[in-house]
């Protein structure tokens, strides 16, 4: 079964530092997403990405956040200057077609900002 | 904004029991999904519902999409210990003429199964 791979599984960073979370989506998928889940809370949409540009972003995805697909396989989320409230699980997901509900989620990166 | 509320928040049951959980929305969704999340893992899709009133099964799981498209239930029959986890409903929204979509997740139901 194809998987979405995320690295690292856990990252601890100091407040104010930049972090890059990495994802390798399923190879023939065209739509990519980042979601986050603060501990004990629901999963929240951050951003969707298609054809090398952002399709939609939420209010959470402010100027401190950016996404990039630097090559044909990786999809990254950068947080420029981390805040304590950025501590959460960050999930990457991909889907094969625009309207498909069949997202495949990665196992997540647990980001802890201290 | 769009909100999905799930009930109950948590359930503690004995192995072999049947389980039912609900999800209600403040707005209409055209596609409704149920996910399971194991500890330390990402959500895994269990069932997708596309039509109002649709009843769909996946093994011991059965889900129905409400007629109004604003609610759904998920039933698990004959629960087993590996059913433990958090169950999320999610509505799929499409925007900008279908150019993009995203999932709006519910608040989750924690299921614990006693062997």
For the cut 90, the answer to whether the pLDDT of residue A1 exceeds it is no
Backbone CA torsion sign across A3, B82, A35, A13 = negative
Per-residue pLDDT of chain B (115 residues; tens, 9 = 90+): 778 999 999 999 999 999 999 999 999 998 999 999 998 899 999 999 999 999 999 999 999 999 999 999 999 999 999 999 999 999 998 776 666 788 999 999 999 999 9
Q: Is the peptide bond before A8 cis (omega within 30 degrees of 0)?
A: yes
Mean pLDDT taken over chain A: 93
Q: Do the beta carbons of residue A8 and residue A107 sit within 8 Å?
A: no
CB atoms closer than 10 angstroms to residue A81: 12
Closest chain B residue to A4, measured at CA: B42
pLDDT confidence of residue B99: 64
| Least CB–CB distance from B108: residue in A35, A42, A56 | A42
Cβ under 8 Å to B: A residues 18-47: 31, 33, 35, 42-45
CB contact under 8 A, B42 and A44: no
Q: Is A111 on the interface with B (CB under 8 A)?
A: no
| Least CB–CB distance from B45: residue in A55, A99, A103 | A103
Q: Give chain B positions within 8 Å (CB) of A4.
A: 42
SS3 B97: helix
CB contact under 8 A, A45 and B100: no
The pLDDT of A2-7, averaged and rounded, is 93
pLDDT confidence of residue A102: 82
Q: Is A60 on the interface with B (CB under 8 A)?
A: no
Selected residue with higher pLDDT from A12 and B97: A12
**% of residues, chain A, pLDDT over 90:** 76
Which residue, A110, A93, A105, is CA-closest to A50?
Answer: A93
Closest Cα in chain A, distance from residue B3 (Å): 11
Closest chain B residue to A31, measured at CA: B100
pLDDT confidence of residue B39: 87
Task: Compute the distance between CA of residue A7 and CA of residue A20 in angstroms, rounded to an integer.
Answer: 9
Condensed to tens digits (0 to 9), the pLDDT of residues A40-73 reads 889 999 999 988 899 999 999 999 999 999 887 8
Task: Compute the distance between CA of residue B72 and CA of residue B55 in angstroms, rounded to an integer.
Answer: 10
Q: Do the beta carbons of residue A29 and residue A48 sit within 8 Å?
A: no
pLDDT confidence of residue A36: 97
Backbone CA torsion sign across B47, B94, A71, A111 = negative
């Amino acid at each position: 079964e194809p998987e979405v791979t995320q690295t690292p599984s856990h990252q601890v960073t100091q407040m104010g530092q930049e972090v890059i979370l990495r994802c390798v989506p399923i190879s023939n998928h065209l739509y990519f997403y980042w979601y986050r889940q603060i501990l004990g809370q629901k999963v929240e949409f951050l951003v969707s990405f298609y054809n090398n540009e952002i399709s939609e972003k939420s209010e959470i995805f402010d100027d401190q956040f950016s996404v990039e697909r630097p090559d044909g396989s990786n999809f990254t989320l950068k947080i420029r200057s981390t805040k304590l409230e950025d501590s959460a699980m960050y999930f990457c997901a991909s889907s094969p077609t625009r309207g498909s509900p069949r997202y495949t989620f990665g196992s997540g990166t647990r980001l802890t900002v201290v | 904004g769009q909100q999905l509320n799930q009930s109950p928040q948590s359930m503690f049951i004995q192995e072999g029991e049947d389980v039912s959980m609900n999800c209600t929305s403040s707005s209409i969704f055209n596609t409704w999904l149920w996910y399971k999340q194991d500890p330390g893992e990402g959500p895994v899709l269990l069932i997708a519902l596309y039509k109002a009133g649709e009843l769909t099964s996946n093994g011991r799981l059965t889900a129905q999409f409400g007629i109004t498209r604003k609610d759904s239930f998920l039933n698990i029959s004959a629960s087993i210990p590996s059913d433990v986890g958090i169950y999320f409903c999610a509505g799929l929204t499409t925007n900008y003429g279908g150019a993009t979509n995203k999932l709006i997740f519910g608040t989750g139901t924690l299921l614990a199964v006693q062997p």
